[in-house]
Amino acid sequence: MVYYNDNELMIRNMEEADAQVLTDEEISQGWNADISKYLSRLRDQSEGKCVSLTAVYKGLPAGYVNIYITGLGGAFSGKGLPEIVDFGVLEKFQRKGIGSKLMDVAEQIAAEYADSVWLGVGLHSGYGSAQRMYAKRGYIPDGTGVWYRDKPCAQYETEIANDDDLVLFLSKKLEWKGEN
């Protein structure tokens, strides 16, 4: 399904061929990438657990995001709210509005299921652009503090690493399109 299309950018459901292209591109730019992540998202999409999107810029896969109908885990788990998972735009396509448009579409899809959406964002500098974008889009911290490997960190915790598993959960109110 195509969710957005203009002369340069199309946002559509992720396809199997996207998995290899995105993995290869992420590896070439030094990201820790594994095709199994994409194949897992495609499997979840086929089972109706999520909507996986690919942004295609001038004919090339440029970014991705996944909207899980009910969250996978973390601060909002079990609350019946959709979760945005694994958002990314390849470096050579950044600063072209692709990430913002991906998030627009992800939030529109989430609004079909609930009045709020949530996500976890990493805390190291590699997530700096995403952190700024989420703040500008109105995402706010949930108040449970920092989480590491799906568990909240205790105050003064010292047994954690500043890696991709160290996250802060954020949420945003949406204009719900579902039934009252």
Please report, for the chain, the start and end positions of each structural domain, with discontinuous segments joined by +.
2-173
pTM over 0.85: yes
Neighbour-count burial of 77, counting CB atoms closer than 10 A to its CB (0-12 exposed, 13-18 middle, 19+ buried): middle
Q: What is the mean pLDDT of residues 28-46?
A: 93
CA 74 to chain CA mean position, Å: 14
pLDDT reading at 60 higher than 50? yes
What digits encode the pLDDT tens for the residues 106-156?
A: 999 999 999 999 999 999 998 998 999 999 999 999 999 999 998 999 999
Residue keyed to tokens 């709020």 = 116
Please say whether the structural domain 2-173 has been given the CATH code 3.40.630.30: yes
Output the six-digit token pair for 150. 């799906």
In this predicted structure, what is the pLDDT of residue 180?
47
